[in-house]
Amino acid sequence: MKSHSKTTTRRTFLANIAKTTAAGAALTVAGCAYVKTASRHPSRKRIALIGTIIRKYSHAQHFVDRFLEGYGWHGRWHHPQVELVSVYVDQFPQGDLSRDREKRFGARMYPTIAEALTLGGSKLAVDGVVLIGEHGRYPRNDKGQTLYPRHRFFRETVEVFEASGRAVPMFQDKHLSTSWEECVAQVETSRRLGFPYLAGSSLPVTWRIPSVEVPLGAPLIESVCVCYGGVDSYDFHGLETAQCMSERRAGGEAGVKTVQAVRGENVWKLLGERADTERLLFAALARSHTLRPTPQGYTFPIPTREVLQRNNRAPVAYFIEHNDGFRTAMFLLDGSVRDFTYAGLTRDGKIISCQMQLPMPPAISTTADFFNPLVNHIEQMVLDGRAPYPIERTLLTSGTLVSALDSLHGGQVKLDTPQLNVAYQAPAQSTFWRA
Amino acid sequence: MALRKIAFVLEEFIVSAPSQQLLDRFLIGYLRDGEFRRIPNLGIAVWLAPAAENSTALADATTGLAVRQRDFKLVSHSNVTDALKDAEAVVAIAARDRVSVGEDLLKNVLEQAPIGAACFVHGCLATNLASAQRLVSIAAARKLAVAVATSVSTTFRLPEVDVAANTPLAEALIVVQGPRPLAELSAIDGLLPVVARRKGGESRLRSVRRLQGREAWRAGDKGEWSWPLLSAAISRSNTTQGDPVRDGRTQDLVGLGLVRKLARDPRGWIIEHTDGLRSTILVLDGVVADINFAVRSRDGSITSAQLYRPPAPNRAEFDRLAAVLEDFFTTRSAPWPIERSLLVSQFMQIVTA
């Protein structure tokens, strides 16, 4: 790992830890309510977390703290039934919190992924692995993809699995990788080794307002997500927002046939050619709690295409055709909203719509509790040995995102995507947070 | 019945305050059931109390109302009588730092509203029971349908739970923040709709006891209110204060004993209802920054939720209130009994004493 000007290297950092650990016991805060948990629950299943960085509001921080501190769940404080025993962190920026967490909880940090998984021994010594390749300083390519080391995390983890002759459930945060070939390789590897593989975003599992689900087998013909944020970032959340609903349609997911990503005026041009999509766009906006008041001082006027055009100077949209004729559209409208909303159209003209609630700290929350259901699913997967929803969802959204960025970078043309022939069935049981 | 005219009687007009939130929703439109809703052919009249010179209220009123007159045909009147003329519905809203519209103004509104009109009062009816009863009598004499509430009573719940009708409840608790008596009004207005569904419905208040400072913790330690219910309520919060603000961590504030350390000048109210239900309001500044409740039924099961108030400037909880009000104005059937409002006024009399 290369260090950056304000970033301590991992080895330097760990060396510093070693110097201070001797005094670590003495540094324990008097009267502190925390107890190191490493040996407190020997019967609990153990997990390792491999992350890019742990600082305030990084994804890894959200996961680590929920495993260590617990989280609100079904009206009580929930202490996970799995024990986070080891951590590997790739970078140590200013504001690093990994050292603090290690000191308070005893989830030991290791200098390599292999050592985190073997707890310094020779064989896999944990019952589950959580890979968080989000945030941190990593290069971007010319397509705008941040080259997080998700594939490297996966590969090095699997090397330990193979060397140990044993594989355990794995969760991977957000999209699988920035390369379709790597995404496919990862899923194939999970199948070959036979370990439960769960991945993706918190959007499919967070609160919905209202708390609605697409009935399994519904005659859905189109999905739209309206959201905000950048490409190769929140667009993935938007795709998963739509996909977790779309996959429940009659016949299940059939795979993606074409992808076209556009920006600027092309968004409005293509929208003008798709009456149903425009109807769904406004239906999704009608679930937003952040629709921009125009002008300031109003709640909001009922939006029109003109209002959206005026407020969004650099919109981005992905238009997706599925193999069964189903359509998906995702809009990044930074000038209009700061939330994630969904609308789906059924064959008989009915609309199902909701907001996938993402109260982002620090603006409207202090803890990113939309991670609670995701952590709970990971916990259950490690305990039960079964992923709650199929990895194919994330494989398809990851591949769709890769193709969308290819389209955006390659002249905003429609791309045929025969490689995205990923068909799967959604689970019958709803997996979003509703209690 | 098609609505043709709503009259707004405002003690002030401030951007983002309830006055602007509700006025705009009927003037411009609001979000309802996944659609943009604008009541067709609806006229909005407004009377606004004079604002103090150089105040924010004056600035907002001058610019805000002027653009609304220009862009949305808001009709402004210089006296209440003209504003109320021929209105099928009336909305009276207190200034944002007050819990109730001034009694004289509200009396005037009720006396001059067209016979049979639907009247909504944002806040509480009055801060003493006798005044509230007088206002209710005036309304009854003029066949007015009256509803009183804040947006807390109708806002989103996370999760979307409700107490099953006729559930025998034993105990309820709600956590709020803010200055007295506004925090207490939010609390009682949030809690009563939840507990009113219990077996036998709402009864009357037998007693109200104030807790201040360390007395609040002592009462909890003695079981006069329930720490487990507080834990259940706070488990629904996503605005825990203290360490989570500093470094983003999740934290079991109750389990770790941090509530009493974080709370700044805590206060509370233990309400005994005549049917034996005990409701507790805890005003805990510095602990969480959202409103959460928990209720325990006699079989021991606990129901809890956050009364979710979406962010400003939209404050989408007012969409929920606007939907309830539109139905109220259209049917002239009050969405909840006036007795709830009298109970709130009785409680607020104690709180403001």
pLDDT digits (tens, 9 = 90+) for A188-215: 999 999 999 999 999 999 999 999 999 9
pLDDT surpasses 50 at A5: no
**What CATH number is associated with residue B84?**
3.40.50.720
- CB pairs < 8 Å spanning A and B: 140
Provide the 3-class DSSP secondary structure of residue A43. Answer: coil
Does residue B313 belong to the interface with chain A, where contact is any CB pair within 8 Å?
Answer: yes
Give the contacts of B325 (CB within 8 A, at least 6 positions apart). Answer: B22, B26, B89, B91, B120, B147
Nearest by CB: B158 against A70, A207, A288 = A207
Neighbours of A26 (CB within 10 A): 6
Tell me the per-residue pLDDT of A313-372, one tens digit each, with 9 for 90 and over: 999 999 999 999 999 999 999 999 999 999 999 999 999 999 999 999 999 999 999 999
Contact by Cβ (8 Å): A106, A38: yes
CB contact under 8 A, B248 and A210: no
Structural domain that includes position B176 = 156-308
Q: Which residues of A touch B38 (CB under 8 A)?
A: 302
On the question of pLDDT at A37 being above 80, the answer is no
Residues of A in contact with B313 (CB under 8 A): 293, 299
Rounded Cα gap, residues B121 and B143, in angstroms = 16
Contacts of A66 in chain B (CB under 8 A): 250
- Whether residue A77 and residue B254 make contact (CB cut-off 8 A), yes or no, is yes
Asked if B35 lies within 8 A of A210 by C-beta distance, the reply is no
Q: Quote the number of domains for chain B.
A: 2
Return the pLDDT at A288.
97
CB contact under 8 A, B248 and A368: yes
Q: Dihedral, CA atoms, A33, A39, A42, A45, nearest 10 degrees?
A: 80
Q: Is B311 on the interface with A (CB under 8 A)?
A: yes
A303 — pLDDT class (breaks 50, 70, 90): confident
The answer to whether B291 and B182 have CB atoms below 8 angstroms apart is no
Which residues are A342's β-sheet partners? A225, A354
| Residue B21 contacts A, CB cutoff 8 Å | yes
Residue B65 per-residue DSSP state? I
Asked if B253 and B265 sit in the same domain, the reply is yes
Q: Are residues B207 and B339 in the same domain?
A: no
* Most B-contacting residue of A366, A372, A376, A379 (CB-CB within 10 A), to test interface: A366
Same domain, B245 and B226: yes
Q: How far apart are the first and last CA of chain B?
A: 42
- pLDDT tens per residue across span A68-77: 999 999 999 9
Looking at the structure, do residues B203 and B298 belong to the same domain, yes or no? yes
Q: What is the pLDDT of residue A246?
A: 98
Alpha helices in A212-353 (DSSP H): 234-246, 265-272, 275-285, 305-311
Q: Token match 């590897």: residue?
A: A189
Instruction: Judge if B184 and B142 occupy the same domain.
Output: no
What is the helix (H) or strand (E) element at residue A384, kind and residue range? helix A371-384
Q: Which residues of A touch B252 (CB under 8 A)?
A: 69-70, 77
CA distance A251 to A80: 36
- DSSP per position, B194-227: HHTTBTT----EEEEEEEETHHHHHHHHTTSS-H
If asked whether residues B170 and B45 sit together in one domain, one would say no
Q: Which chain A residues are within 8 Å of B232, Cβ to Cβ?
A: 75-76
Q: Taking CB atoms and an 8 Å limit, are B255 and A77 in contact across chains?
A: yes
Does B151 reach chain A within 8 Å, measured CB to CB? no
Are B72 and B184 within one domain? no
| ipTM of the modeled complex | 0.96
Q: Are strands B43-48 and A82-89 parallel, antiparallel or unpaired?
A: unpaired
> Distance, in angstroms, between B60 CA and closest chain A CA?
9
Q: What is the pLDDT of residue A135?
A: 97
What pLDDT does B139 receive?
Answer: 98
- Collect all residues of chain B within an 8 Å Cβ-Cβ radius of residue A434: 159-160
Same domain as B124, residue B75: yes
Q: Inter-chain contact A361–B248, Cβ cutoff 8 Å?
A: yes
Q: How close, in Å, is residue B284 to chain A by CA atoms?
A: 16
Q: Could you report the per-residue pLDDT of A255-297, keeping only the tens digit for each?
A: 999 999 999 999 999 999 999 999 999 999 999 999 998 777 7
Alpha carbon distance A201, A238 (integer Å): 9
B267-273 sheet: strands from edge to edge: B156-158, B302-308, B291-297, B169-176, B278-283, B267-273, B205-212
What are the structural domains of chain A?
10-200 (3.40.50.720), 206-363+390-420 (3.30.360)
Q: How far, in Å, CA of B197 to CA of B108, rounded?
A: 34
B133 and B12 part of one domain = yes
Which positions of chain B have pLDDT values less than 50?
none
On whether both B300 and B334 belong to a single domain, the answer is: no
Residues B108 and B233 in one domain: no
Are B287 and B321 within one domain?
no
User: How high is the pLDDT of residue B263?
Assistant: 98
